[in-house]
Amino acid sequence: MAVTETRPASETGADPGSGRTAPGAVERILGGADHTTLGRMFVLSGLALFCVAIVARLLVGIDAVADNALLGDALAMVSSSARVLGPLSLVGAMTGVLVFLVPLQLGSPAISYPRGVSLAYWTWLLSTIVFAVSVAFDGGVGGADTAAARLGNVSLGAALAALGLAAVCVATTVLTHRPPGMGLAKVPFLAWSALLGSTLWIVTVGSAFAHVVVGQVSRADAPGLAENFVNGILWMTRAPAVYVLVIPVLGVALDVFATATGSRVRQYGIAQGLIGAFAVLSIGVWAQGDDSVNTVVWTAFALLVAVPVLGILGLVGDLVRRGRISYSPALLLSAVSLLFILGAVTSGLVWALTLAGSGTLLGFDVRLLGAAQVTFVAASLLSGTLAAVFHWSTKFWGGRPAAAPSNATALLVVAGGGLLSTAVFVQGLVQRDGEPTANQFFGVLVVAAAALYLLGVLSAAGAVRSASAAAADGGDDEPVGGTLEWVAASPARGDDVPDDLPTVTSPYPLADARDGDAPGEEADR
Amino acid sequence: MSEVAALDLDDLAPAPPIRRRELLFATAFASAGVVMVFATLVGAYLAARNAGGEAWLEGSRIPLTQANMQMATMVMAAVTMQWAVYSISRDDRLHSYLALGITLLLGLAFVNQTTFLVKQANVVLSEPGGALFYAVVGTHTAMVLGGIVYIALMAFRALAGQFSSRQPDGISAAAVYWYVCVATYAVVWIAVYVMK
């Protein structure tokens, strides 16, 4: 055998005959378009950025305890910016879940326009970091420094546009990447909720982006930008538009419970309809002005949105009743994420009651009730995202997370989210007519809740690390669900979908293949 | 010939699946977002104008003739764009290129007319309504420029033979976006120029 001058391609990792070397880890991260890699990066970056928002909430709580000795005039700016930064980071994390899982659930090796998703990720990441930096320089939203406030406005617009672009890619994937036989009525719940949530997100973001454009074109100063935010963008953080953020959480919960109980959702069409009804009732672009609140339509939206949430809770209860229930952190987080949505809906109901008649029926603080809504929604988003990350952990990270950190994460996030949301809600009930009743007490609660949240996210990082370590040790890789993502390798790679996917004749094709193609009640258990 | 005969088709990697209408759906979703940007901007413009009363753009003179010509240009561009879709779906490549070229020309003429109108109108940014005027007109112009780039890109892909009666999606998707541009201009024309 002749001596060769270069090593064979199989050793160098090069593509044979192409003359190119294989991309390194950094090159893969910066230039890659694998939807699984992008999804993981979205999730991890979103959770990291959420820590920044939680630190801001921590400062707000400490300031309340210290009787405004810490933040002074910057209190409103930090509080408003945290109210934006928290959902912005968590929507990014949930987008990561969708980018990762939706193509796998459809048996597709790729997402639509992966380079578009890559562009969306980097734009969202950089603009959210820039937004956080602008907060530090008294900008963000409601800041006093004009240059920093303009920076905050531009970065907010860029982040919204980036998430809108990612939503376009996700929604297009659901419509065009389905395998033969998988009509929309057989799409898994997460993909279904992703389609509805992404579509409404595109519409909602488009409207908010217009106000960012107006703020920038008008060359407004800091107070002008603060007014533009309150009049043009703040509506996104209150009912009904704020519910758009948690539409995918409904899909996560139904898929997690169906898999965890080994049951199928019996009334599949009804469940899809309930998610659809929730989506319709979260259309909020028409309710931007203050005069649109306390109208008949707004009140009807606030009341009716409880129906699909209760319906989905009923379907979950039916799954639990028929299946073999065994505790897991993902299950707890899924259940609580639905309860958090119910909490947000309750805040909306109380808000509607408060505004009934001439607006003086109960005298609750509607500003705080609005803040409670977005806090409940953020808690639901965080719980839902972590539930997905833990439930599909073999696909995300290659193995199952260790029991200790994953259990700790679930308990800390549930406790932190519950405490923070309930504290803000009760504060809205107690502090009537703007009176700062027991302000320091609520400050202590906010500090405690923020600390629990921080510990929860740090614990989640430990759980992810343990899942990756379990993959390196050859962790279990048994498919346990009934939908197509469980066919993929563990950890999943975008181009590694098997060619011999089971034929799709029901919403649970893999369960059909296991059970001898016998969809129905007998195959449930 | 012998080399061709030696090829084993089983060794070849399978061709990636052609996902028809992917670009069409993506364009429709993106267009929905763009329409919402416009609906919000025009809504804000009309609300502010109603509140502004007599002081609304009182220092400016917005001519209608120019805006009418722009509307006619966009209508013609919509017709030529549909001509391109019609031609490519019948493998009439020559007429497709001709139609795409004329559409691009009309699009560039529209942008040119907009710059002329904006100079004539002489709206001051700081006057009441000035910022909203520039936000509406400027965003629509940017949208049309995006449409021109989109059509040019699809025209190059058509020249490279990527579109035909079997796969006309690129031209159809560009057409969808272009029709949205035309429709939104119709709204701008009525809200900003006709109703003043």
CA distance A288 to A229: 11
* B138 contacts on A by Cβ (under 8 Å): 217
Architecture (CATH level 2) of domain A35-237: Up-down Bundle (1.20)
Per CATH, A35-237 and A242-473 having the same topology is answered yes
First to last CA, chain B: 73
Could A285 and B40 be called an inter-chain contact, meaning their C-beta atoms sit closer than 8 Å? yes
Decide if A163 touches B, using CB distance below 8 A.
Answer: no
Give whole-number Cα distances, B13 to B8, B17, B121, in Å: 11, 12, 60
Q: Which of A122, A117, A127 is nearest to A154 (CA)?
A: A127
| Chain A, nearest residue to B27 by Cα | A168
Percentage with pLDDT > 90 across chain A: 62
| Chain B, nearest residue to A167 by Cα | B29
CA distance B22 to B29: 11
Q: What is the pLDDT of residue A74?
A: 87
Structure tokens at B181: 């541009």
Burial environment of residue B165 by CB neighbours within 10 A (0 to 12, 13 to 18, 19 or more)? exposed
| Chain A, nearest residue to B17 by Cα | A177
- Cβ atoms of A391 and A259 closer than 8 Å: yes
Question: Which single residue is written with the structure tokens 């309750």?
Answer: A346
Q: What is the pLDDT of residue A524?
A: 42
Residue A14 has pLDDT above 60, yes or no: no
- Cβ atoms of A373 and A87 closer than 8 Å: no
Mean pLDDT across the stretch A355-362? 69
Question: Which single residue is written with the structure tokens 């109603």?
Answer: B50
Q: Which residue has the higher pLDDT, A404 or A497?
A: A404
- Dihedral, B3, B9, B10, B15 alpha carbons, nearest 10: 130
Q: How many residues does chain A have?
A: 525
How does DSSP classify residue A187?
Answer: S
Q: What is the pLDDT of residue A477?
A: 55
Distance of CA A279 to the CA centre of its chain: 15
Interior angle at CA A15, CA A14 and CA A21, nearest 5: 35
CA distance A136 to A436: 27
Per-residue model confidence as pLDDT tens digits over A395-442: 999 889 999 999 999 999 999 999 999 999 999 888 876 677 788 899
CA distance A372 to A446: 12
Residue A521 has pLDDT above 50, yes or no: no
Q: What share of chain A is helix, strand, coil (3-state, %, to 5)?
A: 70, 0, 30
CA distance A129 to A155: 8
Find all residues with CB under 8 Å of A88, minimum gap 6, and list them: A49, A128, A131, A156, A159, A163
Question: Which single residue is written with the structure tokens 């240059």?
Answer: A147
* A202 contacts on B by Cβ (under 8 Å): 29-30, 32-33, 36
Partner residue opposite B37 with nearest CB, options A167, A169, A209: A209
Q: What is the pLDDT of residue B14?
A: 62
| Confidence bin at A523 (pLDDT 50/70/90) | very low
CA distance A294 to A352: 7
CA distance A148 to B3: 67
Per-residue model confidence as pLDDT tens digits over A21-39: 777 777 777 778 899 999 9
Helix A296-304 and helix A329-355: axis angle, to 10°? 150
Q: A83-101 b/e with 16+ CB inside 10 Å = b?
A: bbbbbbbbbbbbbbbbbbb
Question: Which single residue is written with the structure tokens 């890659």?
Answer: A32
Q: Which of B22, B20, B148 is nearest to A114 (CA)?
A: B22
pLDDT truncated to tens, each residue of chain B (196 aa)? 445 556 666 666 666 566 668 999 999 999 999 999 999 999 999 998 888 777 777 777 888 999 999 999 999 999 999 999 999 999 999 999 999 999 999 999 999 999 999 998 888 888 878 889 999 999 999 999 999 999 999 999 999 999 888 888 999 999 999 999 999 999 999 999 988 7
| Confidence bin at A12 (pLDDT 50/70/90) | very low
CA distance A389 to A397: 9
Domain coordinates in residue numbering, chain A: 35-237, 242-473
Burial environment of residue B92 by CB neighbours within 10 A (0 to 12, 13 to 18, 19 or more)? middle
Q: What is the pLDDT of residue B147?
A: 97
Per-residue model confidence as pLDDT tens digits over A283-295: 999 988 888 887 8
Decide if A214 touches B, using CB distance below 8 A.
Answer: yes
Structure tokens at A279: 């989506």
Distance of CA A425 to the CA centre of its chain: 21
Cis peptide before A16 (omega within 30 of 0): no
Question: Which single residue is written with the structure tokens 């024309």?
Answer: B189
Distance of CA A413 to the CA centre of its chain: 14
Per-residue model confidence as pLDDT tens digits over A35-55: 999 999 999 999 999 999 999
* B25 contacts on A by Cβ (under 8 Å): 171-172, 175-176
Q: Is B188 left (phi over 0), alpha (psi -120 to 50) or beta?
A: alpha
* A211 contacts on B by Cβ (under 8 Å): 40, 44
- Cβ atoms of B162 and B170 closer than 8 Å: yes
- Closest CA of chain A from B34, distance in Å: 6
Structure tokens at A409: 């994460």
Decide if A171 touches B, using CB distance below 8 A.
Answer: yes
Burial environment of residue A14 by CB neighbours within 10 A (0 to 12, 13 to 18, 19 or more)? middle
How does DSSP classify residue A71?
Answer: S
| Confidence bin at A83 (pLDDT 50/70/90) | confident
Could B37 and A206 be called an inter-chain contact, meaning their C-beta atoms sit closer than 8 Å? yes
Partner residue opposite B139 with nearest CB, options A171, A202, A213: A213
CB pairs under 8 A between A and B: 86
In B, what residues contact A, Cβ < 8 A?
Answer: 19-22, 25-26, 29-30, 32-41, 44, 125, 131-132, 134-135, 138-139
Q: What is the pLDDT of residue A476?
A: 58
Radius of gyration for chain B, computed over Cα atoms and rounded to the nearest angstrom: 22
CA distance A31 to A249: 30
Could B33 and A164 be called an inter-chain contact, meaning their C-beta atoms sit closer than 8 Å? yes
Residue A269 has pLDDT above 60, yes or no: yes
Distance of CA A100 to the CA centre of its chain: 13
In terms of DSSP H, where are the helices of A291-365?
296-304, 306-322, 329-355
Question: Averaging pLDDT over each range in A259-268, A307-316, B130-139, which range is the top one?
Answer: A307-316
Q: What is the pLDDT of residue B128?
A: 77
Q: Which CATH class is domain A242-473?
A: mainly alpha
Could B44 and A207 be called an inter-chain contact, meaning their C-beta atoms sit closer than 8 Å? no
Q: What is the pLDDT of residue A522?
A: 41
CA distance A83 to A76: 10
Could B40 and A168 be called an inter-chain contact, meaning their C-beta atoms sit closer than 8 Å? no
Quote the mean pLDDT of chain A. 88
Amino acid occupying residue A491? P
Per-residue model confidence as pLDDT tens digits over A227-236: 989 888 889 9
Backbone φ, ψ for residue A395 (5° rounding): -80, -40
Per-residue model confidence as pLDDT tens digits over A448-484: 999 999 999 999 999 999 999 887 776 555 557 889 9
Architecture (CATH level 2) of domain B22-50+59-194: Up-down Bundle (1.20)
- Closest CA of chain B from A112, distance in Å: 8
* A164 contacts on B by Cβ (under 8 Å): 33
ipTM entry: 0.89
Domain coordinates in residue numbering, chain B: 22-50+59-194
CA distance B109 to A390: 56
How does DSSP classify residue A263?
Answer: -
Q: What is the DSSP string of A194-211?
A: HHHHHHHHHHHHHHHHHH
Find all residues with CB under 8 Å of A24, minimum gap 6, and list them: none
CA distance A91 to A43: 9
CA distance B42 to B33: 14
Backbone φ, ψ for residue B89 (5° rounding): -75, -10
Q: What is the pLDDT of residue B93?
A: 93
Could B29 and A167 be called an inter-chain contact, meaning their C-beta atoms sit closer than 8 Å? yes
Could A203 and B132 be called an inter-chain contact, meaning their C-beta atoms sit closer than 8 Å? no
